[in-house]
A and B are shown apart, each in its own frame.
Chain A
Amino acid sequence: MLRVENLQLRLNGKSIIDDLSLQVNKGEIHGLLGENGTGKTTIGCLIMGVNNYKPTAGRIVFEGQDIAALSVSQRAKRGISLAWQEPARIEGLRVRDYLELSSNNSGIERAEHCLRMVGLEPAQYLDRDVDTTLSGGERKRIELASVLAMQPKLAILDEPDSGIDIIALPFILNSIVEMNKQGSSVLLITHNENVVKIAHRVSVLCAGKIIRTGEPADMSLWFKDNCRKCLHINEPRE
């Protein structure tokens, strides 16, 4: 479904993404596991086309077509969406309207269902605004609900577990599994080796490069034994 081929991103003379190749198959949850600063979010942004990131080299192929030149809207209309690590606050936009526009106006029942999926009671949230009155965790759950509502072919989920309390975390993980069962492939970006256990395959990222890909249990253990203990500082290289 998604093939990232020899992707490079250099910013201000520094290498952010270095000859990275990655494949997300149809129907797959693919975990992208890495410590802070390894380039996980940047890869998500490059695939979605946000943040003004343009690949220095390489290709991003979605359903057989190179999408690197397409706008964010065009990529979304082809079936890609992104749940941000730190979602934007939008003053005056009600949760119900955000979810409805995400679902292409497929009705309030869909919005309510998606809120329940992420563990939020619709009656308490539909008429609230997607603004700074929501806590960080609430906003993240609403972001995930909006991607659920959209039912994209490929969902890029950037650290969906960060800022989520221990009670809400099962709702998040179950939502991702359910999203996948309903037909969405998922690129699950995280620095938590426990979260990727719901994935089918996992790639480990270091310094803008994928250093290995394999079974979730193996990658999780390898990450814990190596990356967690590594003193290597992740920062862009000249």
Chain B
Amino acid sequence: MINYSVEKGYQGMLDAYEKAGGDRSALLNKKIAKLVIQQNQVLSADEVPGVRLKYKAKENGINIELSVEENCQLESPIHLCFGILPQQGLQDIGLRVDVGSGAEVSVIAHCIFPNAVHIIHKMDAVINIGDNAKFSYKETHYHGESGGIEVIPKARITLGEKALYENTFSLTQGCVGKLDFDYDITCAARSVAELTTKVYGKKDDIIKISEKMHLNGDGARSLMKTRVVPTDRAWSEVIGETYGNAPYVRGHMDCMEVVIGKEAVARAIPIVSVTNDKAKITHEAAIGSIDKKQMETLMARGLDEDEAVDVIIRGILR
């Protein structure tokens, strides 16, 4: 068992953050809003004008309230860094985000569990994006290679009129372990939501992705783009749902799952529902092996089969 003091924990988080592709200097810059949490300990927290960060530790995690004032426009993204450095533990994050009307802000979140043997990371998020606001949330995970981790991100997101929301969730480094991803998005009139999810499954990973989009206001638009690559004995299931409930809404679901290996499994279940005769929802799903023509294109440039597979997978998950 490894024990971590706060100081060691902070250094450890910085190291792991950098290894996961994060910008270490951003976490050390006092002019950038940030929150660094190891298990239920806040290791670093900084606010900037227009951004309020409140937090309260609980036994196995922390509750966070992030609020962005109306019309606040941040040049630098807010950095959130969550993680557990010991081999085991539970991290239960409650996150509430309120983005004021007309604000423009982006968040870069890293979730790092480099030594995971038996870890549960839960996040329950409620995100409200005001009218005309723009909110981008990019979450990248870095897990160790043991696969002893369970990740349960759940989010309920509400967009005001003409709001813009972009979410990217990426879990492509280390083993996934078990992922139970559940996002539910509701869009008001003329708002736009884009949800991109990329997961690379290895060994015995279990990947469950549920994405729901409710286009409830006139002219709302959405795109859900999901890319999953299960290899070895990994199992993945993507359930994408889009509901067109208002005139002139447009929604599209684009799911690609590439299966590598005889024991890997991929499933995709698209649900499209339209309750308004002026709404239009489309979906496309490509499930199966790597595209042979892509392989042969790269092999005709001198790449071996394995190298070609690697290039294609890296592209899908980029």
Contact = CB atoms under 8 A, between A and B. Distances in A.
Interface stretch (A14-22, A68-76, A113-121, A164-172): A68-76
Given A50-B296, A88-B293, A150 B301 contact: yes
Interface of A is mostly: mixed
B189 to A, nearest CB: 29
Contacts of B303: 73, 76, 101
Contacts of A73: 299, 302-305, 308
B293 A82 contact: no
A91 interface: yes
Given A51-B296, A72-B296, A101-B311, A150 B316 contact: no
A50 B300 contact: yes
A77 B293 contact: no
- Category for how many chain B residues contact A: 20 to 34
A101 B299 contact: no
Tell which of A48, A76, A77 has the most Cβ of chain B within 10 Å.
Answer: A76
- Category for how many chain A residues contact B: 20 to 34
A81 B296 CA distance: 11
12 contacts: A50-B300, A71-B305, A73-B308, A77-B302, A80-B300, A84-B297, A88-B291, A88-B293, A89-B294, A93-B312, A102-B302, A129-B315
B298 A101 contact: yes
Interface string B275-318: 00000000000000001011011111111110010011011111
A90 B296 contact: no
A27 interface: no
Contacts of B299: 71-73, 76
Contacts of A180: none
A97 B315 CA distance: 10
Interface in A37-93: 48, 50-51, 71-73, 75-77, 80-82, 84, 87-93
Of all A-B residue pairs in the complex, the 3 with the closest CB atoms, nearest first, are A92-B315, A92-B318, A72-B299
